[in-house]
Amino acid sequence: MRRAIRQAERALGETNPNPLVGCVLVRNGVVVGEGFHARAGSPHAEALALEAAGRKARGSTAYVTLEPCAPNARKRTPPCAPRLIAAGVRRVVFGVRDLNPLVQGAGLRLLRSAGVRVVEGPCLPEARRLTQHFNSAMRLRRPFVSLKTGMTLDGRIATVSGDSRWITSKTQRAAARTLRRLFDAIVVGIETAIKDDPGLMPEPRTLRPYTRVVLDSGLRMPVRSRLVRSARRSPLILICVRGPAGRRLDLEAQGVTVIPVRGKQGRVSIPAALRALFARGILSLMVEGGSEVMGSFVRDRLFDEIVIFRAPLILGGRGSRAAVGGDNPVRVNEAVAMTRARREDSATVRYGLKASADLEVEVYERVQSRSARTRQPG
């Protein structure tokens, strides 16, 4: 299974919105075939492993990081469970269940009914990470949301005058661009888009087209910005509440997608924005600011983790330029409960980054309410 996980990780950042999947076929203690899902729409891990094994697949055990898929109407590729059966695979050991409502247990039932032994496998936490964003989106029916921020040890993202270049180090900023690869899309607010004129592309670039999203309630996005000018090469979605019709036409003429949604106190409603993105098949987001946008996601409890790059600096001084904005809670027990995801320093492994002395990546996950946890299907 560890070998299957390593296979899956070879496509890190490229399979979105599909999960990372790896498969290893073993017969008589010998690996006879292996493969990984390389990108959405391309063959599944099992199909490639079976192809590599040829006739040697007969009587083998398949180690797959994800439950093999079953036939359904919306598939782009042939289903894996019938293929494993046809190839004569005797046993399937899988890592995590597929919470895609179109799959959910159907592949396992098919395998069992054909007399294949099915075992829910080892290394579960590692395998789960490969599928975390995908399965979370399937379960909650909205994209997995990661908030990303960089701040000083005392939680500042800028000086009182608004100067923020650079709180985080060069290494940290490069790492943040690499993290973008793991998400279907990146999100910023219009203030950040205007002030920084960012490109919001992952580094290294992904082979798949990379989607950028701006929450732009009044449709103020400048037509001459870097984001708009690159919209034909890399999709740009503007989510607005209202905006001049002429401006919308100008933006659309540049290849920009404009999606009007419901507003909330003059801003884009976060639930409405997530619904619109989910409907377009976007299953994971990294939100990069600014602080008011962060505050909106936190206020609505519509996020799953926060990734904090802590700069080894203490800025100090009075003021309220804290990283997460929004309303001020009156009491401490109004705070959102968080838990450190892993005690050991495994974040670099998780995200496939090289360890470095000034690279400290800490991941805190939201403590899901009991009702959300028991809602898990399957």
Residues that bind ligand AOF (CB under 6 A): 18-19, 21, 37, 44-46, 66, 68-69, 75-77, 80, 98, 100, 103
Q: Is 49 an interacting residue with respect to Zn ion (CB under 5 A)?
A: no
Retrieve residue 98's tokens: 């597929």
Q: Which does 45 bind (CB under 5 to 8 A by kind): ligand AOF, Zn ion, none?
A: ligand AOF
Using DSSP's 3-state secondary structure scheme, residue 297 falls into: helix
Query: Which H or E element spans position 169?
Result: none
The per-residue DSSP string of 46-59 comes to HHHHHHHHGGGGTT
From 34, 46, 67, 126, active-site residue: 46
Which CB atom, from 80 or from 188, has the smaller least distance to ligand AOF?
A: 80
Residue found by looking up tokens 């419901």 in the block: 262
Q: Which does 66 bind (CB under 5 to 8 A by kind): Zn ion, ligand AOF, none?
A: ligand AOF
Q: Which residues contact 299 (CB under 8 A, 6 or more apart)?
A: 326, 327
Q: Which does 304 bind (CB under 5 to 8 A by kind): Zn ion, ligand AOF, none?
A: none
45-53 vs 2-9: helix axis angle to the nearest 10? 110
| CB neighbourhood size of 49 (10 A) | 32
- Does 46 qualify as catalytic in the annotation? yes
Which CB atom, from 40 or from 194, has the smaller least distance to ligand AOF?
A: 40
Residue found by looking up tokens 């000034």 in the block: 358
Interface residue with Zn ion, options 24, 80, 103, 228 (CB under 5 A) = 80
Stretch that binds Zn ion, among 80-88, 134-142, 266-274, 353-361 (CB under 5 A): 80-88
Q: Pick from 245, 195, 247: which is nearest to 223 by CA?
A: 247
Q: Pick from 23, 33, 25, 27: which is nearest to 69 by CA?
A: 23
Per-residue x/- track, 226-265, Zn ion (CB under 5 A): ----------------------------------------
| CB neighbourhood size of 126 (10 A) | 21
* Residue 250: CB minimum distance to ligand AOF, A: 35
Q: Is 92 an interacting residue with respect to Zn ion (CB under 5 A)?
A: no
Q: Which does 236 bind (CB under 5 to 8 A by kind): Zn ion, ligand AOF, none?
A: none
Q: Is 44 an interacting residue with respect to Zn ion (CB under 5 A)?
A: yes
Q: Which does 21 bind (CB under 5 to 8 A by kind): Zn ion, ligand AOF, none?
A: ligand AOF
Residue 109 carries which side chain, given as an amino acid letter?
R
Residue 154 backbone class (left: φ over 0; alpha: ψ -120 to 50; beta: rest)? alpha
CA distance 193 to 77: 38
Beta 117-120 vs 91-96: how paired, if at all? Answer: parallel
Residue 346: half-sphere exposure toward Cβ, Cα within 13 Å? 10
Q: Which does 240 bind (CB under 5 to 8 A by kind): Zn ion, ligand AOF, none?
A: none
Q: How many residues bind Zn ion (CB under 5 A)?
A: 3
Which CB atom, from 256 or from 283, has the smaller least distance to ligand AOF?
A: 283
Which CB atom, from 100 or from 132, has the smaller least distance to ligand AOF?
A: 100
Which CB atom, from 100 or from 284, has the smaller least distance to ligand AOF?
A: 100
* Residue 98: CB minimum distance to ligand AOF, A: 5
**Length of the chain (residues):** 378
CA distance 59 to 26: 9
* Residue 60: CB minimum distance to ligand AOF, A: 16
My answer on whether omega of the bond before 162 falls inside 30° of 0, hence cis, is no
Which CB atom, from 78 or from 244, has the smaller least distance to ligand AOF?
A: 78
* Residue 117: CB minimum distance to Zn ion, A: 19
Active site residues: 46
Binding site for Zn ion (CB under 5 A): 44, 69, 80
